[in-house]
Amino acid sequence: MSLCNYQHFILSFLLVLLLGINNAMSEPEEYNTYIVHMDHSLKPSSFLTHETWHLAILRSLSKPVHDKDMLLYSYNHAMHGFSARLTPSQASEIKKSPAHIAIHKEKSGKLFTTHSPQFMGLTHPSGLWNASSYGEGVIIGLVDTGVWPESESFNEKGMPPVPTRWKGKCQNSTINPFPCNRKLIGAQVFFKGSQAAGESNSQDHSPRDFDGHGTHTSSTAAGNHVPGASQFGYAKGVARGIAPRAHVAMYKVPGGIRQSDVLAAMDQAIADGVDIMSLSLGFKHKPYFRDAIAIASLSAVQKGIAVVCAAGNDGSPNTTQNAAPWITTVGAGTIDRSFTATVTLGNDQTLEGLSEFPNRVLLIDTPLYNGNGDSNKTICLTGALNESEVSGKVVLCDNNNSTEVIDQMQELERVNAAAGIFISDWTLYDTADNTIPTLILPTSSGALIKKYATEAADDASVKIMRFVLTSLGTKPAPQVADFSSRGPDPINPNILKPDIIAPGVDVLAAIPPTIPVQYFDNYFLASDYALYSGTSMSAPHVAGVSALLKAVHPEWSPAAIRSALMTTAYTTNNNGTTLTDEALDPLTPLDYGAGHINPNKAMDPGLIYDIDWQGYVDLLCGLGYNDRQMKAILRQSQWNCSQERIDINYPSFVAMFSAGSPNVKNFTRTVTNVGDDQSVYQVIVETTHGITIRVEPTTLTFTNKYQQQKYAVSVQMDGKASPVAYGYLKWVDQNGHIVASPVVVLNS
């Protein structure tokens, strides 16, 4: 049968060949990398491997592909098919193959970091660390820009032996030496797509990181303990990954982040036997059947590998990326640490503000300048200051909430000020790159210094200014980072995304020593550890916690791990209010998902919402995909759509209402008891004006572990609800388990 098909395929190519002769003289066509999904069940048995079959297909084209390097990769695990350099007419010829399912030109993606190394933080859950022996034995695979193997974070002190089930490689050569060890157990590079697109150089032939991103994310997920790490004195402490006893495998994708390379990396990671996969990069929004990361992740999840991805840094509503429901999608939050400096005025008043100025400068008894009554000078307008008036002085600049603080800093540099004090409530300035020390004061304490400067007039002075201080307990924390991508998910708004937030602002982790961190005094300063921000930084936190959970509960599915993370997350900051953004504006679960990760609680969630393979198939059926689309994503030729639904057994709910649609939405869920054998859960519903949430039954009784119970939820909207409203559905037992799910109502 399959051989038959193949002969038919050859015949149709011969036909195309004859018809194609007329075009033989037309202009040379441009080559591009195409991703080709194939039905692998149709491989003729005469081909021993899929790769030889894929090559034969390319050689049988009317304009045959003879150079076998034009076949970039054959995929067997992440998807079924291959990627190759093809012309548009070769690509459309491949569509005629009976084994062809889908073909599309590859896209380039991007890393989800904000390239400014700013503030930072890491949390260290002791309970889960102890129970999981720091993630001992779990393998985390990262698809990223490579890794710097000599970094202290990848030392193998205290590491267990490489697991015998590990099938991965360490790409080490005489030209590109790359030492692996018991911590860093695998490192490979996938550059063919990047090279074909003309984006790679010789550095990309080694898994070594020349960007910094991959070293940072992998040391965040699983770096070993390194005492005394800091970026120039800020955030000093023990640097360590979330799962310090987990093994790391790096799958490097260089250059412009090519889909063909990312697929090859994920294909290899699945084959090698990683337990957790972490991706801090992504491509433009596409439906699941066109989304390389979604397709490869479903394949990984089918094999029990939990896939954790960054949600993106778009910062506005309807922008979450990597949001397929089998992926754990991670947004970014701040932490309770800030980098500060203090100023003590001539009247002995001491004020604290923000600063990342890299040197331990101490300024003593310096005159304070405040514009001499000229408002242009008061705000340090470009060109307003007079060098002979201010040189060598501390200049007070009323920033007046202007976002042009950069210009003010340059003005101070122009006139050789000794230091600058900016008054602003806007905390996102990067003060690290200035050659003169600067401090940002909030308007509240700014008023005090202005008052003093006015009263003391020409006698105003600064007694002491101190830099390089780290202060903990900053309130409120966490906040959702302004850049963190927000829901609803543009591809499937019926599933709440992001799932969770984790630290992603000013994360201290290892970087290659060759990467400049700051520009200071005409020098680039390097550091072994640096503060980076982005959802790129929050995803590896969740990958690390997932590794710890995997170590404690090896039997948990990827959906169970995500469920435990979500139902135990918290939504209240350290000042006792609901999570806000960085301007202190209130948010909803569209911004933070189930909330901020709470690792110790996730270890013992009580109940989980599990999803098996058929659960995801039911959802894909419900999305109305056609046969080719289903085949591309499922990698199989048969599936069962008898239970199609657009909802899924997810630990969160989205009820979408539009004008004219019924005002009630019903859901069903199945929960599995992973807590004590005997437990009785009561439901608690928290809701807001205009919404009624009913749950049936209201009590769930379990008599043994792994027992399952179903319940139904109906969400009713009475027309007075706001466009985005939300509540919570919580199952609470007698032993202190609280299994919380956000219920989001969208009215349009």
Ligand X SMILES: *[C@@H]1O[C@H](CO)[C@@H](O)[C@H](O)[C@H]1NC(C)=O
Nearest approach in angstroms of CB 413 to ligand X is 17
Looking at 490, 516, 622, 690, which residue binds ligand X (CB under 6 A)?
490
State the DSSP code for 70.
G
Least distance in Å: CB of 277 to ligand X? Answer: 24
Strands (E), 178-246: 184-189, 226-231, 234-239
Please pick, from the candidates 583, 627, 637, 677, the single residue that binds ligand X as defined by CB under 6 A.
583
When binding is defined by CB under 6 A, the residue of 158, 179, 392, 736 that contacts ligand X is 179
Selected range binding ligand X among 155-163, 260-268, 381-389, 406-414, rule: CB under 6 A: 381-389
**Residue among 436 and 656 whose Cβ is closer to ligand X:** 656
C-alpha–C-alpha distance, residues 81 and 57, integer Å: 11
Q: Which of 92, 640, 703, 708 is the binder for ligand X (CB under 6 A)?
A: 640
Q: Rounded distance, CA 290 to CA 721, Å?
A: 36
Q: Are 84 and 70 a contacting pair, CB within 8 Å?
A: yes
Q: Which stretch binds ligand X (CB under 6 A): 198-206, 208-216, 322-330, 397-405?
A: 397-405
Q: Which of 213, 216, 247, 737 is catalytic?
A: 213
Minimum Å gap between C-beta 317 and ligand X is 7
> Strands, E, within 218-335: which ranges?
226-231, 234-239, 247-252, 276-279, 281-282, 306-310, 328-333
Distance separating alpha carbons of residues 482 and 437, to the nearest angstrom: 26
Alpha-helical segments (H) within 223-374:
259-272, 292-302
Q: Report residue 222 as tokens.
A: 């699983």
Question: Reduced to 3 DSSP states, what percent helix, strand and coil does the chain have, rounded to the nearest 5?
Answer: 25, 30, 45
What's the closest the beta carbon of residue 551 comes to ligand X, in angstroms? 10
The secondary structure of residue 135, as a DSSP letter, is G
Picking from 709, 733, 650, 115, the residue whose alpha carbon sits closest to that of residue 329 is 650
Choose which of 17, 131, 587, 738 interacts with ligand X (CB under 6 A). 131
Closest CA to 548 of 509, 504, 598, 599: 599
CB of 132 vs ligand X, minimal distance in Å: 9
Stretch that binds ligand X, among 25-33, 393-401, 465-473, 504-512 (CB under 6 A): 393-401
Q: Is 374 in the site for ligand X (CB under 6 A)?
A: yes
Q: What's the distance, Cα to Cα, between the start and end of the chain in Å?
A: 51
Shortest CA distance to 397 belongs to which of 366, 371, 415? 371
574 binds ligand X (CB under 6 A): no
Q: Which of 32, 87, 172, 600 binds ligand X (CB under 6 A)?
A: 172
536 is catalytic: yes
Instruction: Name the segment binding ligand X (CB under 6 A); options: 12-20, 289-297, 385-393, 651-659.
Output: 385-393
- For residues 33-69, one letter each, b for 16 or more C-beta atoms within 10 angstroms of the residue's C-beta and e for the rest, the string is bbbbbbbbebbbeeeeebbebbbebbebbbeebeeee
Question: Which residue is catalytic, options 80, 132, 144, 506?
Answer: 144
Q: Minimal CA–CA distance to 498: which of 592, 426, 427, 430?
A: 592
Nearest distance from C-beta of residue 542 to ligand X, angstroms: 23
**If binding is defined by CB under 6 A, does position 696 make contact with ligand X?**
yes
- Name the residue type at position 732: V
One of 116, 359, 386, 734 touching ligand X (CB under 6 A): 386
**Segment interacting with ligand X, rule: CB under 6 A, options 1-9, 75-83, 175-183, 353-361:** 175-183
Give the integer Cα–Cα distance in Å for 495 and 620.
13
- The pattern of x and - marking residues 428 through 447 that bind ligand X according to CB under 6 A reads ---------------x----
Nearer to ligand X, 14 or 583 (CB): 583
225 by Cβ neighbours in 10 Å (0-12 / 13-18 / 19+) ranks as: middle
Binding site for ligand X (CB under 6 A): 130-131, 172, 174, 177, 179-180, 285, 318, 374-376, 378-379, 381, 386, 388-389, 398, 400-401, 425-426, 443, 475-476, 490, 575, 583, 640, 642-643, 664, 666, 694, 696, 712, 714
Catalytic residues: 144, 213, 536
